[in-house]
Amino acid sequence: DLDMLAAMEHARWMASRVVSGWRYGPQRDDREMFHPDVKPYAELDADARRKDFDQVAAIPAQLAHTANGQPAFAVLFFRSMPM
């Protein structure tokens, strides 16, 4: 279910922010490290939930850009290296 995966993505995003010192604030403030989305997924508005949903929905396309199990950027990098 994509909504469940979106909630997991939000938890991952939020954990990375909290570990970096971010905390909840009603308005984003990069200097003070406040962000309005540092709260549980269930408390987000529809626009904030859409960001997480879009991240999860993009995964199949990202995985499709692989070659021989390597991310496409790695394949291009190694092919450009002199032998």
Q: What is the pLDDT of residues 45-71, one digit of tens each?
A: 999 999 999 999 988 877 777 656 666
Confidence (pLDDT) at 75? 46
Helix (H, G, I), strand (E, B) or coil at 37: coil
Cβ 28 vs Cβ 41: under 8 Å: no
From 1, 4, 6, 2, select the one nearest 52 (Cα to Cα): 6
Q: Looking at 7-65, which runs of residues are DSSP E strands?
A: 23-24, 34-35
Tell me the pTM: 0.74
Confidence of residue 25 (pLDDT cuts 50, 70, 90): very high
Phi then psi for 54, rounded to 5 degrees?
Answer: -65, -35
The rounded Cα 53 to chain-centroid distance in angstroms is 10
